[in-house]
Structure 1
């Protein structure tokens, strides 16, 4: 009797199998699964080795994505959500199955910040700020939920910013042949000209600010030459263009010290910025969005920052859970 070769865990899996595994995961995560559902899932996983491999592959991906928020907290928030929000959450998980390709996750998933954090060389969790020194002596400070790859070779020193924000303080290249230092975002490339600067990856654009030296910004699909940004300037760039440089804010690097400096900042912008450093959901009600706030707020203690906001303005904090907060009118 000949032995049947078992597939390796890294070998491709039928996309339909992975889609079904994602649907089972969505059902069990919904908070509405019965014991019969759990038993049926166990039977499905036992039907074929690929079923179990697909389940484990998605489970490992899920565990990495939820490292910043305890599973019981995420599950509680899901069960506490209105029925429409529950349906949206289940649908999002089901769509995960539709974006899975043979051997791994497809481009739609790979573009999400969560996947960038999982797949990157170096990353930080929500609320974490970390400084590293690269092999050439360049120092990089990673902001909250930031992911980078480091690609040094004989021709260049490249930092790939997958998600989040970094502060780069460049060092002279020790190599005998000059290798330019570049930061690559989704929208283009920033080349350092002996400098200290920040690069931030937003949803559909990138933003840079320069504090020493200068940089050249080259959008990935721009028909024109690169845009130079000098010390004391900042710009926002897209895949096909860059905005004219303007004055940079002195407070742009305050996050490296664990504080958020607000200077007549809109409350909705303040909440969005604070939410980057806080696990869970932090929202701003429309009726208070246009209020302005000025002050220095802790990014290490976002609860205290919210309390200080409520003390300074006519707003209140509605806690559905510790991880689900809305800033609303008092």
Structure 2
């Protein structure tokens, strides 16, 4: 089955570029589904190219769908089988995408999909899969290390450098802007904004709160709906913030950066919290029985090999691992 047109890299978008109309996205999806077919004609390829050239939003929608398809190609086949063993035996990946896409359009589920965690990751400019840690270098030289299952969008223009953390966690080392005057660098989460002041910092997005820690320079933290002035954090300081207020300062520890080296450093950590962190780096369900939840663990554990991390837990504590499947593990008392 042939695939239409060559892929292109994600485009950095400025604030002036409004969201693409849903009808345009639907039309782009229809064209893409048609050109995926084995019997797509030369005339249909030409007509699609003409439609893409008719308006900039047509091309934007096309590129965004292609980027989505690129990322879906990276979904492990074994993970797909865990979710639905029967479906993978009868449907190809692309046929499943067509069916799911048309179903979403027919049932009006587009809004729900766009607000899901999976959509935020798949439709972003840069993202990582579960268990992947990746560094990207932005146009201004800023280095962003993305933790597992993380996603960012980049919006640079002549006046500002904005990065939106859609999901997960990122370690940012800001570049020296060549523009004059230098454009401010701001990283945004769902709860608010962190403005960098020549900085190396980390931002993590959880459901209802964001966490920031500063390792060099300083940042200003401004919740989205705060009434007070921004809070300045200097190197060695961190905090959490909701969309209305900032929590008290805390120490920013270098061990908080261990994940960027593929390690989890646990210091007197509850087993329940340990499993929550390790579970971010593996597919499936990882849980513990109540009698071991509050046991404490100290050590250094590899995030690239979570089975090994779990085996080390078993060596350190009187627990055992019950594998229902490779993707369903329970830690229980020995």
TM-score, structure 1 normalization: 0.73
Is residue 2:191 matched to residue 1:183? Answer: no
Report if aligned partners of 1:258, 1:299 keep a CA contact under 8 Å in 2. yes
Q: Shift in Å at residue 8 of structure 1?
A: 8.9
Tell me the equivalent position of 1:67.
75
Residues 1:214 and 2:218 aligned together: yes
- Give the whole-Å Cα distance in 1 for the aligned partners of 2:113 and 2:214: 32
1:55-94 equivalences under 5 Å are 64=72, 67-68=75-76, 69-75=78-84
Deviation of the 1:208 alpha carbon: 0.5
1:148 aligns with 152
Contact 1:77/1:324 (<8 A) preserved: no
* 1:47-104 Cα deviation digits (max 9, x unpaired): xxxxxxxxxx9xx99x9399145322322599xxxxxxxxxxxxxxxxx99x957797
Q: Give 1:111 deviation, angstroms.
A: 2.8
Instruction: Give CA-to-partner distance per residue, 1:203-251, whole Å, 9 cap, x none.
Output: 1111011100111010001111111111111101001011021111220
Matches within 5 A, 1:98-109: 105-109=109-113
Q: TM-score, normalised by structure 2?
A: 0.72
How big is each residue's C-alpha offset from its partner over 1:242-285, in whole Å with a ceiling of 9 and x where there is no partner?
10211112200100100000010111111000000111111122
Q: CA contact under 8 A between 1:65 and 1:114: conserved in structure 2?
A: no
| Structure 1 residue 106, shift from structure 2 partner | 4.2
In structure 1, the residue matched to 2:279 is 275
Instruction: Give 1:108 deviation, angstroms.
Output: 3.7
Distance change in 2, residues 1:133/1:12 (3 Å): closer
Q: Distance in 2 between matches of 1:103 and 1:8?
A: 17
Q: Provide closer, same or farther for how the CA distance between residues 277 and 101 of structure 1 changes in structure 2, counting only shifts above 3 A.
A: same
Measure, in 2, the Cα distance between the counterparts of 1:9 and 1:212: 42
1:246 maps to which of 242, 245, 250: 250
List runs of 5+ in structure 1 lacking aligned partners: 1-6, 14-56, 79-95
Equivalent in the alignment of 1:197: 201
Provide runs of 4+ in structure 1 moved above 6 Å.
Answer: 101-104
Q: Report the CA distance shift for 1:242/1:107 in structure 2 as closer, same or farther (over 3 A).
A: farther
Instruction: Output the CA distance in 1 between the equivalents of 2:294 and 2:121.
Output: 33
Measure how far apart 1:169 and its partner are: 0.4
- Say if 1:216 and 1:306 are closer, same or farther in 2 by CA, change over 3 A: same
For 2:182 and 2:271, the matched residues in 1 are separated by 46
Q: 1:103 to 1:195 in 2, by over 3 A?
A: farther
Contact 2:26 / 2:105 at 8 angstroms: preserved in 1?
no
